[in-house]
Amino acid sequence: MQNYLLSIVLFTPLAGMIALLFFPKENKTLIKVWTNLVMFVGFLVSVPLWFYYDRSSAEFQLVERAEWIPSIGARYIIGIDGISLLLVLLTTVIGFLSVLSSWSAIEDRVKEYYAFFLLLQTGMLGVFMSLDFFLFYVFWEVMLVPMYFIIGVWGGPRKLYAAIKFFLYTLFGSVLMLLGILALYFHYYTQFGTYTFEIAELMRMSIPLSLQKWVFWGFFVGFAIKVPMFPFHTWLPDAHVEAPTAGSVILAGVLLKMGTYGFVRFSLPLLPDASKDSTTIQVIAWLSIIGIVYGALVSLMQKDWKKLVAYSSVSHLGFCTLGIIALNPNGLSGSILQQINHGISTGMLFLIVGIAYERRHTREISEYGGLSNVMPAYSVVFAIAMLSSAGLPLLNGFIGEFTILQGAFEVSKTWAAFAVSGIVLGAAYLLWLYQRTMFGPITNSKNEKLSDLNLREWAYMLPLVVWAFWIGVYPKPYFEILEKPVAKIVKRIQPDYYRARGLRDPLPAPVPVAAARPTP
Amino acid sequence: MVTGTFLPLIWLIPLFPLAGAALMLLVGRRLDPQGTHGHGHGGGGKAIISILCPGAILAAFLFSLGAVLELAARPPVERSAEVIVFEWMPAIGAPWGFLLDPLSSVMVLVVTGVGFLIHVYAVGYMAHDGGYYRFFGYLNLFVFFMLMLVLANNYVLLFVGWEGVGLCSYLLIGFYFLRKPAGDAGNKAFLVNRIGDAAFILGILLMFAALGSVEFTRVNELLRSGRYAPEAAQWLPWIALCLFIGATGKSAQIPLYVWLPDAMEGPTPVSALIHAATMVTAGVYVVARSNALFVLAPDVMSLVAVIGAATAILAASIGLVQNDIKRVLAYSTVSQLGYMFLACGVGAFWVGIFHLYTHAFFKALLFLGSGSVIHALSGEQDMRKMGALKDKIPITFRTMFIGSLAIAGIPGLAGFFSKDEILWQTWSSQGGAHRFLYVIGIVTASFTAFYMWRLMNMTFYGTSRTPHEVEHHIHESPKVMTVPLMALAAGSVVAGWVGIPKVFHFPESWPSLEHWLAPVFAGSEAGVAAAGEHHSAAAEWGLMALSVALAAGGIWLARRMYHHKPELADGMEQKLKPLHTLLYNKYYIDEIYGALFVNGLAKGGGTLLSRFDAAVVDGGVNGAGWMTRFTSSLSIWWDTWIIDGSVRAGAFLVKLASYPVRVLQTGLVGSYALFIVLGVILMFGYYLWK
Amino acid sequence: MHPVTTVHYLFLSAALLIVGTIGVLTRRNIVVILMSIELILNAVNINLIAFSHQLANVHGQVFAIFVITDAAAEAAVGLGILIALFRNKETVNADEVDILKW
C-alpha cells in the first residue's frame, strides 16, 4: 500500500470526478456531499505521508515509476521530498476547505463546478509530485482549464475578461517554460544519446552557462507570471476579484505556489550556475523587493476588499522569492515555510471575504463597517487571519518572514532593510482594512442583521486557525522536514556553503553537481 | 539544572494570565452577554470574571514572588536561573526559554504586582461598561505578553512579547471601538510601534550575524569577555542603534512618541497599566538588558542620553498647557521615560530601572486617580470643567496628592530618590555634554512639578467649574477602586527607600536596588562609578537641594497661577499666545508626520502606485492584448482575401472543369451500379481483344 | 451420363454472376439489390471452390471463407445503412434516393 500511496493521493480526486459524472445533475445535495467526501478522503490519505516521510534523507521518497511514452522518453514518475510533501499537504487541506466553503455559494450548474474542482485538485497534486518534466507539464496545463472555467462561469461581473486574461497570460509563460524544457531535453540527447524527460537524469547533465541562462530566463517568465512577480502580476487582481470565493482561495492558497515551487524544484537545481549569476540574483532580488513594497502600497489604497487581499499576495510572495534568491538554507526553508503560511493566512482572508460576500453580495469596503458589533466570533477569526498575515509573533507568518529576513540578511543587509519595511506596510493596510470593516458603529443599515459564523463556516475556518498557531508556536517539525532537501539544493549551487561557514552540514555525502561528459 | 520549587517552573508564570485570556475568549460571552453596550451590573457571570482575571494575575504575582525569593536566597553570583522548555526557532538559535535574574525579577514583580492592583481597580471602573469579559480578556492577554517579554531568555522570544503587547495595546486603546478616534488611535499605536519593530528585527539579525547568538547570557558573555570576532566590532553600534530605535517606538521617545497621547482614548486602567507602568517601560528594559552592548557603543549611548533628555523636556513643555487630565499625565509619562533613557545613556543603568520601578507606582496611581476623578464626574476629562473636588472625593484627592509629591521629587517619597539619582549621575558622569543634559533634566523637573500642581489645583482646589447636573452625582469611588489607590500611594512613599544615595550614609545592610542589580550591570558600571567617585558629597547635596528648591518653586508658582490668581494664567496665555498655541498643538508634530508619512508616502504613494499599476503595468498587459487583436484582424484580412482568395479561385476553376463529369452524378445507386458493370465489361473486352 | 466437371461449375457461377449483376442494375428495391450483391459474392465462391477442387489445393477454399465472412459483414453494414436511410427518407426505393446529386 505504501508503494502506491502517492498515486492514491494523486488520483483520488480524479476518481471522484469520474464517478461524479454519472450522478444526476438535479441532485445537488448528493453532488455536494460526494465531492466534500472525496476531498476529505483525499486529505485523509495524504496524512500518512507526513508519517512515512523519512526526515533523515534528502532524496525523493515514495517514488513510483512506470513506462508511459517510451518513444519520447516520457515516464510516469512521481515522488516527494520535504518540499513537495508540505505543498501536497497544503493542497489537500486547502482543497478540501475551499470545496467545503462553496456549499451555499454555488447553486448554478453545481455538477460541473465540483467536477472542475476535483480535476483541478488532481492537476495541482500532480504538479507537486511529478519527477518527469513531460508529466509535470501535462499537470501544469491541466490546472489551467478548470481554473479558467471556474472563473469564467461562476465568477463576478467581469469574469470573462479575467478568465481569458488569466488563461492566456499564464499559458504564455508556460509555453516559454516548455521551450526551456525542450532545450534541456535535446541537450541531454547530445550528451547522453537518449531522450528522456526524467528530472533526476537531467540533473546529471553538464550544461554550459549560456544555455543555462537561456533556459533559466525561459523558465523565469513562466514561473514569475505564476508567482506572480512584479511586473507580471496584473492578472492576479482581476482573477481573484472575479473568481468565486473558493476559486480565490484555491488560487491564492495553492496555485500561486506553483511558481515558487518551479524555481525551487527546477530552476535552482538544474541550472545552478545561472541561478547564482550576479545579474540573476540582482534582478530577482530587486523585483522581489519592489513586489513587497509596491504590493503593500497598492493594497493600502484599494476600495475592493478582494483586490486588497490580492495585492497583499503580491507583497507576501515577494518575501518568498527574495528568500529563494538568497540561495541559502534560511532563505530557502523560510521561503517554503512562508509559502505554506501564505496559503493558510491568505486562504483564511479570502474565506473571510467570502463569508461577508455571501451575506451582502458586495466587495466594496465602504459598504461595511462595524461588523464586529453583530458578528463577534467572525471578528475574532478575522483578527487572527489578519495578524497571521501581518506576521505577528506566535502566529505562522512571523516564523516564515523572520527566517527569510535572516536568509536575505546573510546576503545583503540592504535587501533586509528594504524587506523589513514590508512588515510595517503590511500592518498598515491590514489594520486599516480591519478598522474600516469591523470597527466603529454600523453605518449601513443593511449590515444590522448579519448572522455570525455558522457551523459549516466554523468547520472550515477553525482548522486553519489551529494550523496557524501550530506553526507559529512550534515550527520545529516543519524545519526538520525541510532541512535536508533544502541543503541538497543549496549544495548544488554552492557546494561548500556549510564548510565555508563552519556550520554543521546536514548532508555529509557529496552531492553530484554535474556529471562529466561521458566518453564517446 | 535549575533547583528549587518555583524556579524550574518560571515558564508557568506567563501561563496564568494566558489561561485567563483563553477562558474569556471561549466562555466570556456566556458569562457576560452584554457585548458592547452594557448598562448596570451583570450579575453572577460578571462576578466570576471579576475574580478569575485579577486572580490569575495575583497567582502570577505570588508565584513570581516565590521564585524571586528563592533566587534571593542564593549568593549574588548565582542569581540567575535559566529554563529552556523546547527548541523553538533553531535557525536563529532562539529557544522557548526563560531567564530569572535580578533585572527580570524587578520587572516581573512590577508587572504582576502593579498589574494586579490595576485589575482590581478595573473591576470597579469597568463595572458599568459593556464588553466586560472582552476587556479583562485583553488585559490578561496583555499581561501574558508582557511577562513573556520580561522573562524571555533571548531577543527573539522577547520580540514575541514585544509585538504581543503592541497588539494588546491596539486592542485596548481601540476598546471603545464604536468611536472612530479610538480605532484610529489604536491603528496609530500599532503602526508607529511597528516602525520601531522593523528596526528591532534588523538589530536582532545583525546581532546574530555578528555574534552568532541571540540569547542574553551568551551575548553578554561574549561582549564582556571581548571574545567576539574583530569584524563584528564595527557592527556593535549598529545593533545598539537598531535596538534603540525599536525602544523609542515602544517607549514613546523622539521620534516615535506620537502614539502615546492618542492612546488615552482607551479606558483609564489601560492607560495606567500599559502606558505608564509596563509596556512603555519595555524599551528601557531592553536597553538595560543590553547594557554590555551599549557600553561598547559610546556614540549610541550618547544618542540615548540626548534623546532621553530631549524627549523629557519636549513632552514636559507640551504637558504644561494641556487641558485634558489624561493628556497631561500621558505627556508626563513620555517625559519620565525620557529620564529613564537619560539614566541609561549616561551609564547609570540601575538608576534607569530604579526610576522605572518608582514611576510604575506613582504614575499608575496618578492615572487611576484621574480615572477616579473622571468616574466621579461622570466622564468629564477636561480640567477646565473641574475644581473644588478635594472634599468631595477625599481619598482620591489624598492619594493623588501623594502621587504628585512623588513625581515632583519631594524628599522622602519615591520619585525624589530615583529622579535625583538620575540627575546626580548625569552631572557626575563622563562626557562634556552631560552638564548640559543635567540642565535640561533639572528644568524638566521644575516643569514636572509645575504641571502636576497645575493639574492638582485645577482639579481639586478653587471653585467648582462643573455643570450642575454633573455636580449632583459626584461621589467617591467604591472600595474596589480606592483600595488599590491607597496601596499604590503607600508604594509611592516607600518604594524609593531601596535606592537611598550613599551620601545619606545608611547602613550597608539596608536593602539596595543597586546591589541587587549589580550582577546584571557588572562591567558596565566601571566607567560611571569611577567618574562618580571624583565628585564630592558636597556637590551631591548641593544638587539635591537645587532640585528640591526648583520643585518647590514649581509647586508654588502653579498654586499661585491656578489657585490664588487664576487671572495670571489667562493673562500669560494671552501674552504668550503664539508659544502657547505651539505647545498646545504639540509643536504640530502629528500634523507634520501626517502630511509627510501618512498622507504623503503611504496613502499618496499607494494611490500613485495603484494608478500606475492600472494604467501602466496593466495597461501594458491590456495593450499587449489590444496589439494581439489588431494583428489578428490584419491577419484575418490577409487570410480572407489573399490566401483564401487564391483557394477560392482555384475552387472556381475546378468547378468549371468538372461540369461535364457532374452530369453523371445522378444520385441514384442504380446508375452507379450500371457504370461499374459497364466499366468491368469494357476492361474485360479490352483484355480479350488483346 | 457426362461426369460433372469443373466447367459446369464455372457456368453455374457465371450464370449466378449475370443474374446478380442484372439484379443490381435493374431492381429498384434496395433490399433486393443487397440480395443480388450476395448472389454475386456467392457466384465467386462457387468459382473459387471449383478451382480449388480442380487444382487440389486448399487455397480457394480458404479464400472462400474470407469472402463469406466479408459478405456477412457487408450485409450487416448495408442493412444498417438501409435502416438509417429508411428512418430518414421513409423509402427503400433506389430511384428516390438522389440527394447526392450535383
Q: What tens digit of pLDDT does each residue of A288-338 get?
A: 999 998 888 888 888 899 999 999 999 999 999 999 999 999 999 999 999
Judged by CB atoms closer than 8 Å, whether chains meet at A405 and B91 is answered as no
Contact A250, A294 (CB under 8 A): no
Domains identified in chain C, total number: 1
List the CATH number of the domain containing C89.
1.10.287.3510
Beta bridge mates, B483 = none
Q: What is the pLDDT of residue A516?
A: 42
Q: How many CA atoms lie within 13 Å of A429's alpha carbon, on the beta-carbon side?
A: 36
Report pLDDT digits (tens) over B285-311: 999 999 889 988 888 998 999 999 999
Residues B481 and B625 in one domain: no
The answer to whether residue B423 is domain-embedded is: yes
Q: Does A334 touch chain B (CB under 8 A)?
A: yes
Same domain, yes or no, for B671 and B635? yes
The answer to whether A75 touches A68, Cβ cutoff 8 Å, is yes
Same domain for B468 and B338: yes
CA angle A404–A88–A124, rounded 5-degree value: 105
The reported pLDDT for the residue numbered B239 is 93
> B527 pLDDT exceeds 60?
no
For residues A53 and B434, the model is more confident at A53
Chains C and B touch (3+ CB pairs under 8 A): yes
Is B578 in the same domain as B684? no
For chains B and C, CB pairs below 8 A equal 34
Q: Which residue has the higher pLDDT, A434 or A519?
A: A434
Choose one of B516, B549, B584: the last residue of a domain.
B584
What's residue B34's pLDDT?
Answer: 62
Q: Total structural domains in chain B?
A: 2
Domain's final residue, options B549, B584, B619: B584
- Give the pLDDT confidence score for residue A514 in this predicted structure: 52
Express as a percent the part of chain B with pLDDT over 70.
95
Q: Do A479 and B178 touch (CB under 8 A)?
A: no
User: In the prediction, which pLDDT does B559 show?
Assistant: 79
> A417 to chain B: which residues are within 8 Å by CB?
202
Please indicate, yes or no, if residue C102 is contained in any of the structural domains: no
The overall average pLDDT reported for chain B is 84
Least confident range from A382-391, B178-187, C81-90: namely B178-187
User: Residues in chain B whose beta carbon is closer than 8 A to a beta carbon of chain C?
Assistant: 662-663, 665-670, 673-674, 677
C-alpha to C-alpha distance for B635 and B627, rounded to whole angstroms? 12
**A430 φ/ψ sector (left φ>0, alpha ψ -120 to 50, else beta):** alpha
Check residue A518 and give its pLDDT: 43
Determine the residue type at A249.
V
- Write out pLDDT tens, residues B71-108: 888 888 888 888 899 988 888 889 999 999 999 999 99
The helix or strand, by DSSP H or E, that contains position B472, with its residue range, turns out to be: helix B468-472
- The pLDDT value given to residue B525: 61
Assess whether pLDDT exceeds 80 at residue B118: yes
Closest Cβ–Cβ partner in B91, B183, B620 for A435: B183
Q: Per the domain annotation, does C62 fall within a domain?
A: yes
Contact B670 C99 (CB under 8 A): no
One-character DSSP codes across B486-504: HHHHHHHHHGGGGG--GGG
* Segments forming the whole domain that contains residue B504: 297-584
How far apart are the CA of B674 and the nearest CA of chain C, in angstroms?
6
Which one has a higher pLDDT value, B399 or B2? B399
φ, ψ for residue B63 (rounded to 5)? -60, -45
Write out pLDDT tens, residues B545-578.
Answer: 888 888 888 888 887 777 776 677 777 777 777 7
Q: Which of residues 282-321 of A touch B (CB under 8 A)?
A: 294, 297-302
pLDDT digits (tens, 9 = 90+) for A105-135: 888 889 999 999 999 999 999 999 999 999 9
Instruction: Identify the pLDDT of residue B472.
Output: 77
Q: Touching check for A402 and chain B: CB below 8 Å?
A: yes
**pLDDT above 50: residue A520:** no
Of A191, A182, A198, the residue nearest A70 (C-alpha): A198
Residues B483 and B499 in one domain: yes
**pTM to 2 decimal places:** 0.81
Specify whether B538 is located in the same domain as B605: no
Q: Which of A163-177, A499-513, B647-661 shows the lowest per-residue confidence on average (mean pLDDT)?
A: A499-513
CA nearest B674 in C: which residue?
C25
Q: Could you tell me the residue ranges of all domains in chain A? A: 1-272, 276-496
Instruction: Say what the pLDDT of residue A192 is.
Output: 86
CB contact under 8 A, A301 and B603: yes
Q: Do C100 and B667 touch (CB under 8 A)?
A: yes
- Residue A492: pLDDT over 60: yes
From the list C94, C100, C101, the residue facing B670 with the nearest CB is C94
Q: Does the pLDDT value for residue B531 go beyond 50?
A: no
Say what the pLDDT of residue B262 is: 86
DSSP secondary structure string for all residues of B48-115: HHHHHHHHHHHHHHHHHHHHHHHHHTS-GGG--EEEEEEEEEGGGTEEEEEEE-HHHHHHHHHHHHHH
Contact across the interface for B187 and A475, Cβ inside 8 Å: no
Q: Is position B604 within any domain? A: yes
Q: A431–B625: do the CB atoms touch at under 8 Å?
A: no
pLDDT value of residue B368: 92
Asked if A474 has any chain B CB less than 8 Å from its own CB, the reply is yes
pLDDT at A140: 93
What confidence category does residue B379 fall into, taking pLDDT thresholds of 50, 70 and 90?
A: confident
Question: Mean pLDDT for chain C?
Answer: 91
Higher pLDDT, B618 or A422: A422
* C-beta separation of A469 from A487 below 8 A: no
Average pLDDT value for residue range A11-23: 92
Q: What sign has the CA pseudo-torsion A87, A92, A95, A100?
A: negative
Phi and psi, residue A74, nearest 5°: -95, 130
Q: What angle do CA A478, A10, A340 make, to 5 degrees?
A: 25
Neighbours of A93 (CB within 10 A): 24
Closest approach of B52 to chain A, Cα-based (Å): 22
Using CA coordinates, name the residue in chain C closest to B670.
C25
> What value does the mean pLDDT take over residues A56-81?
88
Is the same domain home to B475 and B623?
A: no
Instruction: Assess if residue B32 is contained within a domain.
Output: no
Cβ contact, residue pair C101, B666, below 8 Å: yes
If you measure CA to CA, which chain B residue comes closest to A307? B610
B25 touches chain A (CB under 8 A): yes
pLDDT > 80? residue A85: yes
What is the predicted pLDDT for the residue at A347?
94
- Of B198, B199, B621, which has the smallest distance from its Cβ to A234's Cβ? B621
CB contact under 8 A, C100 and B665: yes
- Left (φ > 0), alpha (ψ -120 to 50) or beta: where does A391 sit? left
Residues of B with CB below 8 A from C21's CB?
677
pLDDT, residue A512, reads: 56
pLDDT in tens, B445-463: 988 988 898 888 888 887 7
What is the pLDDT averaged over residues B255-264?
86
Q: What is the pLDDT of residues B160-206, one digit of tens each?
A: 999 999 999 899 988 888 888 888 888 888 888 999 999 999 999 99
**A346 pLDDT tier (thresholds 50, 70, 90):** very high
The string of pLDDT tens digits covering residues B486-524 is 898 888 888 888 777 776 777 777 777 888 888 888 776
Average pLDDT over residues A40-60: 90
Q: How many helices (H) and strands (E) does chain B have?
A: 32, 2
> What residues in C contact B677, CB-CB < 8 Å?
21, 24-25
Between the CA of residue A12 and those of A38, A45, B515, what are the distances in Å?
Answer: 7, 9, 70
> Is there a contact between C25 and B669 if contact means CB atoms under 8 Å apart?
no
- Greatest mean pLDDT among A90-94, A509-513, B8-12, B667-671 lies in A90-94
| Prediction ipTM score | 0.86
Q: Which residues of C touch B (CB under 8 A)?
A: 21, 24-26, 28, 30, 33, 94-95, 97-102
Backbone angles phi, psi at B293, to 5 degrees: -70, -45
With beta carbons under 8 A apart, name residues in chain A contacting B170. Answer: 431
Segment B320-341 mean pLDDT: 90
* Same domain flag for B549 and B632: no
Domain assignment of residue C68, given as a range: 6-93
Could you tell me the pLDDT band of residue A515, with boundaries at 50, 70 and 90? very low
pLDDT beyond 60 at B530: no
Say if residue B669's pLDDT is above 90.
no
Model pLDDT, residue A519: 41
CB C95 to CB B677 under 8 A? Answer: no
Could you tell me if B610 and B545 lie in one domain?
no
The packing angle between helices B236-250 and B282-289, to 10°, is 160
